[in-house]
């Protein structure tokens, strides 16, 4: 697992289990877990994870906001996907180097019944549809997502 993914998973775990009200506090909690992060890194992680600050009866608290999660990567989807290929049973998305995990996370967060899940490497995402009959629907979804997010047709013939 990449350092970024490990850090972001730990951030989610900490925000779900503790009252965290500042970046400094989170940096300290991460350090206790042997994860070093700067405030700038946390800001980027918060944007990607959809972390927002809210106020409770106990004071300010950072929480994961599922509506915001992924909006930052959504803006980049069309630029990060290089190609979409498929056969009778699966779909392969080729991405820029190092971007496959972000794309896979975004696709998983779509929570579409047609998609069982994804597996990501460095520059390749395997998308597993729920049935082979839904291959075309999922490919169409990914291609539309690319056009809508980038505003261009990228390198694909759409």
- Stretch 18-30: mean pLDDT: 91
Please, what is the average pLDDT of the chain? 84
Considering only residues 86 and 98, tell me which one the structure prediction assigns the higher pLDDT.
86
Please tell me the total count of domains within the chain: 2
43 and 75 part of one domain: no
Residue 153 pLDDT > 50, yes or no? no
22 and 49 part of one domain: yes
| Percent with pLDDT over 90 in the chain | 39
Q: Which range of residues forms the domain containing residue 29?
A: 3-64
Is the pTM higher than 0.75? The answer reads no
| CA 111 to the chain's CA centroid | 12
- Stretch 128-151: mean pLDDT: 86
Helix (H, G, I), strand (E, B) or coil at 155: coil
Categorize the per-residue pLDDT at 154 as very low, low, confident or very high, splitting at 50, 70 and 90: very low
CA distances from 48 to 4, 30, 62, 65, 85 (A): 11, 18, 14, 11, 26
Please say whether the beta carbons of 124 and 100 come within 8 A: yes
């Amino acid at each position: 697992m990449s350092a970024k993914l490990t850090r972001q998973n730990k951030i989610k775990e900490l925000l779900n289990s503790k009252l965290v009200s500042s970046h400094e506090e989170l940096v300290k909690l991460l350090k206790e877990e042997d994860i070093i992060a700067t405030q700038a890194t946390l800001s980027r992680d918060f944007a990607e994870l959809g972390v927002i600050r809210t106020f409770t009866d106990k004071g300010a608290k950072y929480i994961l906001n599922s509506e915001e999660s992924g909006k930052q990567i959504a803006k980049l989807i069309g630029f990060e996907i290089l190609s979409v290929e498929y056969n009778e049973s699966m779909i392969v998305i080729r991405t820029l180097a190092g971007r496959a995990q972000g794309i896979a996370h975004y696709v998983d967060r779509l929570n579409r019944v047609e998609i069982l899940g994804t597996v990501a490497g460095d520059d390749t995402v395997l998308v597993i549809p729920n049935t082979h009959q839904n291959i075309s629907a999922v490919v169409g979804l990914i291609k539309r997502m690319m056009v809508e997010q980038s505003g261009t047709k990228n390198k694909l013939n759409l």
